[in-house]
């Protein structure tokens, strides 16, 4: 995909209720060029395998849409850094099943939350996450399109991954052994303490990311405004321009050449704004500059 100009890649988290292909039908109805979905119920441990019939429906829906990049979001129960042995095993099994569903649908990215240090030991948690990720290496021995992407978190509760240093530590330890990149969620990094409200602030934060993690590892973005303030470490999304971040930040994201090629998905509530309008606004920002 690199080097090819695909235009603005924007979409939102689409509902896969009634079948995964429905996410693409929804994306199409919103004029989206990217899509994110849960490939199984995000609140349950066991997910169903993707059947041949579903793959067929998926391929047809994809061909009929303008969606060029598809991202799966892992389930909420999974904690790859759990200190509880039983939960860790369950999480790894569920994650492997998730990888298999992504491969069946030929997805581009699998976005996942790094993990939670329920024992309040973030260092141990980070090492357990690395161990989990490396255990998935055999699934990637054959060359695959799928890439795992680590989502930067808000640092709510005991979640890890809210500092660029945490992210760098995981990436450094794994990226040569498994295909692994990063997803920046604007609400999360802002709540974690990285200012992005003005173009100068965004520039400083991006330079910091580049210095600590490396911009070459950045693969996706989640675009959400934040209900809570800078450094609040509270993860509450709001519609673009209706939160503490403000609209300028999203204009910057769509216009800055370092971020231009990245797929960007909204996870905003359908409240003050509708996804269709937000997607159109992001496209307009892009075309103002390109």
- The contact set with Zn ion (CB under 5 A) reads 185, 222, 235
User: 35: helix, coil or strand?
Assistant: strand
- Rounded to a whole number of angstroms, the minimum distance from the CB of residue 195 to Zn ion is 18
Whether 109 contacts 98, CB under 8 Å: no
Q: At what angle do helices 275-289 and 248-255 cross, to 10 degrees?
A: 60
- Rounded to a whole number of angstroms, the minimum distance from the CB of residue 16 to Zn ion is 17
- Which residue number, 185 or 225, has a Cβ lying nearer to Zn ion? 185
Whether 144 contacts 105, CB under 8 Å: no
Tell me the DSSP string of 199-224: HHHHHHHHHHHHHHT-GGGEEEEEE-
- Which residue number, 225 or 235, has a Cβ lying nearer to Zn ion? 235
What is the 3-state secondary structure of 245-269? CCCHHHHHHHHCCCCCCCCEEECCC
- Which residue number, 166 or 222, has a Cβ lying nearer to Zn ion? 222
Return d(Cα 133, Cα 90) in angstroms, integer.
14
- Rounded to a whole number of angstroms, the minimum distance from the CB of residue 204 to Zn ion is 22
Tell me the DSSP string of 146-170: -EEEEEP----TTB---SHHHHHHH
Q: What angle do CA 73, 78, 80 make, to 5 degrees?
A: 105
Q: What is the dihedral of CA 171, 183, 120, 45, to 10 degrees?
A: -110
- Which residue number, 68 or 222, has a Cβ lying nearer to Zn ion? 222
Q: Which helix (H) or strand (E) holds 12?
A: strand 10-13
- Rounded to a whole number of angstroms, the minimum distance from the CB of residue 73 to Zn ion is 8
Alpha helix (H) residue ranges in the chain: 21-29, 52-63, 85-104, 122-135, 164-174, 186-191, 199-212, 248-255, 275-289
- Rounded to a whole number of angstroms, the minimum distance from the CB of residue 13 to Zn ion is 8
- Which residue number, 13 or 21, has a Cβ lying nearer to Zn ion? 13
Tell me which residue has its CB nearest to Zn ion. Answer: 222
- Rounded to a whole number of angstroms, the minimum distance from the CB of residue 288 to Zn ion is 25
- Which residue number, 13 or 61, has a Cβ lying nearer to Zn ion? 13
- Rounded to a whole number of angstroms, the minimum distance from the CB of residue 154 to Zn ion is 6
- Which residue number, 50 or 218, has a Cβ lying nearer to Zn ion? 218
């Amino acid at each position: 995909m690199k080097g090819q100009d695909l235009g603005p890649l924007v979409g939102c988290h689409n509902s896969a209720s009634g079948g995964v292909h429905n996410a693409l039908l929804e994306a199409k109805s919103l004029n989206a060029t990217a899509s994110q979905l849960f490939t199984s119920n995000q609140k349950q441990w066991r997910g169903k395998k993707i059947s041949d019939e579903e793959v067929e429906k998926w391929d047809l829906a994809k061909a009929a849409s303008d969606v060029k990049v598809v991202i799966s979001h892992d389930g909420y129960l999974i904690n790859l850094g759990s200190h509880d042995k039983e939960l860790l095993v369950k999480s790894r099994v569920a994650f492997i099943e998730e990888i298999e569903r992504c491969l069946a649908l030929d997805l581009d990215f699998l976005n996942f939350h790094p993990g939670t240090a329920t024992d309040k030991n973030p260092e141990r948690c980070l090492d357990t996450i690395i161990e989990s990720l490396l255990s998935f290496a055999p699934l990637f021995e054959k060359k695959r399109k799928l890439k795992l992407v680590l989502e930067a978190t808000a640092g709510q509760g005991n979640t890890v991954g809210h500092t660029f240093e945490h992210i760098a530590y995981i990436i450094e330890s794994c990226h040569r052994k498994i295909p692994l990149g990063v997803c920046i969620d604007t609400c999360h990094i802002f709540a974690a303490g990285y200012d992005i409200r003005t173009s100068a602030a965004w520039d400083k934060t991006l330079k910091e990311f580049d210095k600590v993690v490396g911009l070459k590892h950045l693969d996706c973005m989640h675009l959400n405004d934040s209900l809570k303030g800078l450094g609040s470490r509270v993860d509450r999304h709001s519609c673009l321009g209706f939160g503490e971040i403000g609209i300028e930040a999203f204009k910057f994201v769509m216009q800055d050449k370092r971020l231009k090629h990245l797929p960007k998905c909204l996870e905003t509530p359908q409240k003050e704004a509708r996804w269709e309008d937000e997607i159109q606004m992001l496209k307009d920002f892009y075309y103002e500059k390109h």
